[in-house]
Structure 1
Amino acid sequence: MSFPKQRSGSRCRVCGGPVSEFFDFGRQPLSDAFHEQPPADELFFRLAVGNCSWCTMVQLMEEVPRDRMFHAGYPYLSSGSAVMRDHFGKVAGRFLETELTGPNPFVVELGCNDGVMLRTIAEAGVRHLGVEPSGGVADLAAAKGVRVRKSFFEEQVATEILAQDGPADVIYAANTLCHIPYLGSILRGVDALLAPDGVFVFEDPYFSDIVERASFDQIYDEHFYLFTVRSVQAAARPYGLELVDVERLPVHGGEVRYTLARAGGRRLAPAVAELLAEEHERRLTEAETLAGFGSRVEGIRERLVTLLRELKAKGKRVAGYGATAKSATVLNYCGIGPDLIPYITDTTKAKQGTKTPGSHIPVLGPEAFRDPYPDYAVLFAWNHAAEIMEKEVGFAGVGGEWITYVPDVRVV
């Protein structure tokens, strides 16, 4: 095994303020490092999370090298869920009806993945560019007719895009910005590329929802930042950007869509002040709240492991459902391996025949789940619960029961 170099000091990556650690998940692997045989030098790091006392940005205490996480073999596909396909179709339609109505508009997406959003933009004949560092999914986007640049987005890349294509009316990112520790370079790039009246729109997991639901598996290597309205405001201000709107989203267990524009360029929506007030009332990043979150997480671990051990002692067959990136946090923090969950089923072909990072549980295709059905299934893809349960009616039909752990351990 190997460990990445620990980030020196405990200073905020956004404002330079002091960062106080509030929870440590221990040794964790790269969350998307699925291998047929785990390598001898499997990378582990210390997954700990803290918050800045100045700007309140919640962030990981250690950074994993970006090229180890996002590469040609990156296995996540945004279009893998019908719910998300519908979501991104609506995002594209909304942009086409609002921000992309002027003469020869231009939209840039950071982390376009397999092109699920930009495909609709391309089919409408609108100028666009996806900036995607993971070559495999970038190729899938290109095959759909999406124009893609294979690179990480940062200030230099933004200036090159500006020189070639001109300013962007919309810069968009979904489940991407929170992945990027070098946020300052991103925002400088946005400042360079964004048209005078353009918008930077991004959506990411909302820390308030994570605390409320104790959805601790949203904390893993790829989620370097966990945003709040207050911390986004603070991060944007030094770059001449202003948070002008926010919108709560139900996807991925609770997200917020943030809209930034050049300072003073647009009217602030009432939703910004409303959500700020709610964060203040909840004392979201205060020590007492964060300590309470940690206690709930520890309780979930104890109850989940106890339940799995009891089911094993009774001779019950237990499987996992959804070899998600976030399942790495659950499995490794809880010490769950093949002895308690013999396999996890997943529809992603690239993951089938591999083993989960760190915990080394075999990942099998859907046929293994259905022939025969297990007695219980731990739902790691809990953010797609409704879609999955509707799909797997046969499991419930033979008496199968789901095990969930957000917001607490339950058998349903």
Structure 2
Amino acid sequence: MTVCRLCGSADLTGVVDLGATPPCERFLSAEQLDEPEPTYPLHLRVCTSCWLAQIPPLITPEDTFTDYAYFSSYSTSWVEHARSFVAELELAPDSFVVEVASNDGYLLRHVVEQGVRCLGIEPSVNVGAAARLHGVPTVTAFLTPESARAVVREHGPADYVVANNVYAHIPDVVGFTQGLRTLVAADGLVSIEVQHLLTLIEGNQYDTIYHEHFQYYTVASAQQALAGGGLRLVDVEQLPTHGGSIRLWAQPAETAGRPSRRVSDVLALEKAAGLHELSGYAGFAARVAQVRRDLLRFLIDAAEQGKTVVGYGAPGKGNTLLNHCGVRPDLLAYTVDRNPYKHGRFTPGARIPIFAPERIAADRPDYVLVLPWNLRDELVKQLSYVREWGGRLVFPIPSLEVVS
């Protein structure tokens, strides 16, 4: 990477280098275990001109999202989060809602239930098909200014454009933002949810760095990205999702009002944390290294004591963690996941086998390493049965914690 993808500056400074890993969603079939597996550098840098944190675009969105392993509806808490969001929108009978990267219809199904017109734009063929099975109108496409114009020609502009957990996934930040601007009506609103770099740094959440996340936003850098595509940030909410996210509300620049007090408040938090200068990033790499050492020490000690450790979940973040730490099946026997798409497959790089969740109750392991730590409250309830045989849950982030 030689220049910032947002502002074009060559002033990029390394934040943390996680080595080389395979793309985190390329789960392997048994037949692929004897085949070569490509890996790519995973080095996070920050631009000292616009403060956009970023990794090089070594894979393309087409590589990842044409056939995708992540289905949003398998997270109960995430579906509830979407339901609450839709309930708070001021929808009228003639409203039109468009969601970009609509996945399996986890959010728009709540719009459909209200009888309000909506459309999902989803590039992954397999998850888009799942959305249509749930009655959610969905087109298979990546968002570009051109595809946005085609949608508007056929359906008209949207009162609300929603883009949850996708703004980090597109290397062409300006072109994607221009697509959002094209979709929204002059008096409409764009809502974007994305992980907040502030909580990523403060919470040691380095496992959310992976190749399909091309950039990592502060409100300051998001403000510049939105402006580059013709949108103005007018409000921001801090959310607990994904370990700490921001919901950005934007309007067309030519019709938008002044930013709310909440925008200046969060910008002040970022400045106080040093994220608008290099000081806020100092020490992050050392804290990441400590997470690695602590997890490996725990797993090695458990193995030497004859204890069984298995995983729960096979999220992208888990694959960054397992590969960075060098965990293999001798330390983590297997992991389980609610998504049947992953059953019988193996995690990329680490090649940990993936089974259905029922395997845990059948095997009664001593420890369960929870890889989607961001769903802690939901999963502590789901895994409460582990206590029946004295098993314990292990959370690796922000620091190693073993709980009963």
Task: Give TM class, smaller chain.
Answer: over 0.9
Asked if 1:289 corresponds to 2:283, the answer is no
Does the CA contact (< 8 Å) of 2:308 and 2:366 recur in 1? yes
Q: CA RMSD in A?
A: 1.4
Could you tell me how far apart the structure 1 residues matched to 2:385 and 2:152 are? Answer: 53
User: Aligned equivalents of 2:180 and 2:198: distance in 1?
Assistant: 26
Residue aligning to 1:25: 18
What's 1:10 paired with? 2
State the one-letter code of the partner of 2:5. Answer: R
TM-score for the superposition, normalised by structure 2: 0.96
Give the whole-Å Cα distance in 1 for the aligned partners of 2:27 and 2:180: 33
| Contact in 1 for aligned 2:98/2:121 (Cα 8 Å) | yes
Tell me how far 1:289 sits from its aligned partner.
2.5
- Counterpart of 1:305 (choices 292, 296, 312) is 296
Output one character per residue of 1:338-391: Cα deviation in whole Å (capped at 9) or x when no partner.
011011111111111111100101111112111121101111011111111112
Deviation of 1:265 after TM superposition, in Å, equals: 2.1
**TM superposition shift of 1:267:** 3.8
Equivalent position SS for 1:51: strand
Q: Displacement, 1:204?
A: 1.0
Match of 2:218 in 1: 228
User: Which deviates the most, 154-163 or 191-200?
Assistant: 191-200
1:257 maps to 247
Distance 1:167 1:394 in 2: 49
Give the letter for the 1:14 counterpart: L
Offset at residue 243 of structure 1 (A): 0.7
Contact conserved, 2:175 with 2:229, CA < 8 A, in 1? no
> How do 1:366-385 residues align onto structure 2 when only pairs under 5 Å count?
366-385=357-376
- Displacement of 1:104 in angstroms is 2.5
Tell me what 1:65 maps to.
60
Deviations 1:63-105 (A, max 9, x none): 3121221123x1211111111111101111122xx2x33x722
Q: Which ranges of structure 2 fall in alignment gaps of 5 or more residues? A: none
Distance 2:154 2:118 in 1: 12
After superposing the two structures, state which structure 1 stretch, 19-28 or 36-45, moved more: 36-45
Secondary structure of the residue that 1:61 maps to in structure 2? coil
Q: Which amino acid aligns with 1:94?
A: E
Structure 1 equivalent of residue 259 of structure 2: 268
Measured against aligned partners, the alpha-carbon deviations of 1:270-299 in whole angstroms (never above 9, x if no partner) come to 100000011011102533331311110001
In 2, Cα distance between equivalents of 1:228 and 1:314: 44
2:71 alignment counterpart: 77
Query: Do structure 1's residue 210 and structure 2's residue 205 form an aligned pair?
Result: no
Q: Among 144, 147, 161, which residue is 2:134 paired with?
A: 144
Residue in structure 1 matching 2:390, options 399, 404, 412: 399
Q: Counterparts of 1:193 and 1:379 in 2: how far apart (Å)? A: 39
**Which of residues 39, 43, 49 is equivalent to 1:48?**
43
SS at match of 1:153: coil
Is 1:241–1:261's contact at 8 Å kept on the other side of the alignment?
yes
Separation in structure 1 between the aligned mates of residue 359 and residue 294 of structure 2, nearest angstrom:
27
1:62 positional shift: 3.7
1:170 aligns with 2:160: yes
| C-alpha distance in structure 1 between counterparts of 2:121 and 2:8, whole Å | 28
SS in 1 for 2:105: coil
| Deviation sequence 1:294-329 (CA, Å, 0-9, x none) | 110001101110111011011111111111111111
Q: Which residue of 2 aligns with 1:35?
A: 28
Aligned to 1:4: none
Tell me if the contact between 2:17 and 2:42 (Cα under 8 Å) persists in the aligned partners: yes
**C-alpha distance after superposition, 1:127-161 (max 9, x if no partner):** 21100010111011111111111011111001111
Where do 5+ consecutive residues of structure 1 fail to align? Answer: 1-8
2:238 match: secondary structure: strand
Question: Are 2:174 and 1:180 aligned?
Answer: no
**Which amino acid in the other structure matches residue 275 of structure 1?**
V
Separation (CA, whole Å) in 2 of partners of 1:22 and 1:253: 19
More divergent stretch after superposition (306-315 vs 20-29): 20-29
TM-score w.r.t. structure 1 length? 0.94
What is the identity percentage for the equivalent residue pairs of Structure 1 and Structure 2?
35
Indicate the SS of the match to 1:247: strand
Cα–Cα, structure 1 residues 238 and 71, in superposed 2: closer, same or farther, change >3 Å? Answer: closer
Q: Is this contact kept in 2: 1:46–1:62, CA < 8 A?
A: no
User: Could you tell me which residue of structure 1 aligns to residue 107 of structure 2?
Assistant: 117
Q: Distance in 2 between matches of 1:138 and 1:195?
A: 25
CA contact 2:234–2:256 (8 Å) conserved in 1 = no
Secondary structure of 1:210's partner?
Answer: helix
- 1:129 aligned counterpart, secondary structure: strand
Aligned residues: 399
Local SS of the residue matching 1:326: helix
Matches within 5 A, 1:120-131: 120-131=110-121
Please give the alpha-carbon distance, in whole angstroms, between the structure 2 residues aligned to 1:89 and 1:206: 22
Within 1, Cα distance between the matches of 2:20 and 2:153? Answer: 44
- The 1:393–1:193 alpha-carbon spacing in structure 2 relative to 1, beyond 3 Å, is closer
Task: Specify the alignment match of 2:381 in structure 1.
Answer: 390
- The 3-state SS of whatever aligns with 1:169 is strand
Supply the distance in 2 between the matched residues of 1:53 and 1:282 (Cα, whole angstroms): 15
Q: Deviations over 1:187-214 (max 9, x none)?
A: 1112222211111111011110111110
Once residues 322 and 167 of structure 2 are traced to their aligned partners in structure 1, the CA distance between those partners, rounded to angstroms, is 25
Contact 1:51 1:285 in 2 (8 A): no
Question: Are residues 1:314 and 2:305 paired?
Answer: yes
1:350 is paired with a residue whose SS is helix
- 3-state SS of 1:177 partner: coil
Q: 1:41: how far off?
A: 3.5
